[in-house]
Every structure is written in C-alpha cells, then in structure tokens.
Amino acid sequence: MSDTTVRKRNANMELLRLLLMFMIIMLHALGKGGLLNNVGENLTLNGTIAWGLEALSLCAVNAFILLSGYYLINSKFRIGRLIELIAEMIFYSLGAFLVCSLLGVDIHEEVNTYFLLHTVFPVHMNLYWFLTAYVFVYIMQPVISAGVKAVSEKQFRTVVILLLIFECGFKSFLPFRFEEDEFGYNLLWFLTVFLVGAYLKLYGFKVLNKSYKGLILYVVSSGMILVEKAAVFLVYTHTGHLEEIRSVSTEYNHIFVFLAGLGLFAAFVHSKPVGEKAGKIICALSPMALGIYLMHENLSLRYNWPKWLGIFESADRPTPLFVGRILLAVCTIFVCGLLIDFIRIRIFNLFKHIFAKKT
C-alpha cells in the first residue's frame, strides 16, 4: 500500500473506525454479558466500572454514522458496493448458522422459518439494525447528496437542528417516553446523524476546530452520561419514580451520547496524522472492521461468545480480574473478527476474479 493510498484514505479516520468497533464490542460484552443489570442499592465497584466503560463506549455507533455521512456525501453510488455489502451480511448470518449447525453448537434460538428468514434476508428482517439503516441510506445517497448541495448552508443547518430537536432534544430533557422514540435504533436517527456528518464535511467545524476541543467534549459528555444514569438510578431505587427512563441516558439518540460521538469524531478529524508505517497497517486492517461486527452480532453467536469467554462469571471476581476478563474477551473477539474477515475478503476476491474472467 503506497503512502498516497494511506493519505487518500486518511489513516486517522481509519484508526477511529477500528477504535469504534472495539468500543461496540465492549458495549455488547457488557450488555450481553449481564454486567449492566441494575442491582437495587447494592451497586458494586465492578458494577460502577461496567457503567463507566459503557458510558465511554456508547458514542461509537453515532461516530460510525458521522463517518458514513462525512465520506459518503461526496462519493458516487455503486451498485457493486451495495451487492457486496448485502453479500457480506449474508455470508456471516447464513455462514455462522451453517458452521454452528455442523459443529452442534447450541445457538439459543428456535430454528424455525422466522429464524431462517433472518439468516437469508438480514436487511429486510433487520438482523443488523445498523446495516439495514445503512443500506437504505446508501440507496438514497445520490438523492441526499444532490439535495443537500442544492440548498443553502443556512437551510441545511436548519434542517439538521430541527431533526436533532425532534429526535434528540425532547427525549433528553423530558421525564417521560414518547411513542415515536425508538432509542436511536431506527432509520430516522441514522439519517439525522448522517446529515450531521455530511454538514461537517461540506461546511466544516465551527466550534470543534481543534482536536483537544473534541476530546474535551467526548470526556465531559461521557461523564454526564454516567452522572445522569446514576442520578436516575438513585431516584428510582429510593422512590420508585422514573422507572420508564432509567436507561434514557444510555440510548443512542440522547443528547450526551450524541455529543460524545461528535466530540470523539472531531478529535480524530483534527488530530495529527499517524506515521506512514502505522498508517499502512491501519488502512490494511480497517476494511475488516465491519466483518468484526457481523461476526459477533449474528443470531447464531451473539449470545454464545459472552458465555464462552467467561464474561458472565466475571462480575463477582476481584476488580483487576473483572476488568482483565472484559478486556481479554473484547480483544479476543476483535482479533478473531479480523482473522475471519481476512479469509472472507480472500474468498470474495476469488469469486470476483472468477466472475471477471467469465465476463
């Protein structure tokens, strides 16, 4: 990989992509490993640490969407890329099921028509909500790109602000739930954050124009996530009130989660470029980040790997062992995901080569 390629792909942002995937695995390890369960007033040190790790990692999905908007807004729609993306999703959803079936792995799901539809039609069955939203936004990308470039900056900014107010503002400050709120797991929130990323690409960062400013916003917002969660938790455990919004501060369309993602994104956009050698390694690994997500989040494995890696049993361990077990599990999934997607890429390239010869 040449130095020109590294610069073109921006190794800083590719490093961010890998970091965000690590954070997403962390979220899944904590959540599916049963480490975030409320335990009445007996919140332990390990439980507090788990909440802290969650708060630091929650922004990863929003930052991923910002990356998508930042780069896709000036890119061209390619039907080949869409087909490859869907094929990659099916490779993992169906492939994991077949491998687990051959090995006799208990997948903790009833294998029926509904389950099989998830493995064969992961987009339409919303198996990976993030990718389902991404696919539809990618299909709309030419229209979105033309639209945002046809309006003035003021008009675009107004649209983004209104979307953030309706999707993020109200739910973040009112002590009750709206029927429309889907906690950020939906196409509308994806599109909202995507447009923020597009706006930043087209018009730049007005306030977050330095790396340290973005980092401060990330740290402060992550801290506020933890503070709000603890405050609501204490109110609920002592009064029984606010039960419906106990988890509101940890949802993707909460203001602090959004701002943390925006801050982390800005910190990497404005950070000093990584060295050439490191950049080559980062750019070689970053295309495999999506495969890590698809590997550990498919229906056949998503509830197995936390058990296999001993996350459930770590809650009562001494704190150093608790933290070490979580980090080891996350690193294991990260590395295994890289290795598996390396193989997947080689298989796809082989089929591309064969197909190119025939045509």
What the block records as the tokens of 101 is 């079936």
Q: Determine what percent of the chain is predicted with pLDDT higher than 70.
A: 96
- Measured between alpha carbons, how far is 287 from 283 in angstroms, rounded to an integer? 7
- For the stretch 24-45, pLDDT in tens is 999 999 999 989 875 445 678 8
What's the pLDDT score for residue 282?
95
Indicate whether 277 pLDDT > 60: yes
What's the pLDDT score for residue 244?
81
Q: Amino acid identity of 135? A: V
- For the stretch 201-230, pLDDT in tens is 999 998 999 999 999 999 999 999 999 998
Q: Amino acid identity of 150? A: A
- Measured between alpha carbons, how far is 129 from 131 in angstroms, rounded to an integer? 6
Residues 6+ apart with CB under 8 A from 185: 129, 252
Indicate whether 3 pLDDT > 60: no
90, burial (CB in 10 Å: exposed 0-12, middle 13-18, buried 19+): middle
What's the pLDDT score for residue 42?
67
Q: Work out how many domains the chain is built from and give that number.
A: 1
Instruction: Give the residue from 286, 239, 261 showing the smallest Cα distance to 27.
Output: 261
- For the stretch 100-147, pLDDT in tens is 999 988 887 788 999 999 999 999 999 999 999 999 999 999 999 999
What is the band of 1 on the pLDDT scale with cuts at 50, 70, 90? very low
What's the pLDDT score for residue 354?
84
**Average pLDDT of span 241-270:** 93
Q: Which residue has the tokens 């969407």?
A: 65
Q: Determine what percent of the chain is predicted with pLDDT higher than 90.
A: 76
What is the per-residue DSSP string for 39-69?
Answer: -TT---HHHHHHHHHHHHHTTHHHHHHHHHH
Indicate whether 331 pLDDT > 50: yes
Query: What letter does residue 275 receive in the DSSP assignment?
Result: P
What the block records as the tokens of 164 is 């953030």
- Does this model's pTM top 0.75? yes
What's the pLDDT score for residue 208?
94
Segments forming the whole domain that contains residue 113: 3-358
What's the pLDDT score for residue 359?
61
- For the stretch 89-99, pLDDT in tens is 999 999 999 99
Tell me what the pLDDT averaged over the chain comes to.
91
Task: Measure CA 337 to chain center.
Answer: 15
What's the pLDDT score for residue 175?
84
Question: Which has more confidence, 34 or 342?
Answer: 342
Containing H/E element for 258? helix 255-269
- For the stretch 43-62, pLDDT in tens is 788 989 999 999 999 999 99
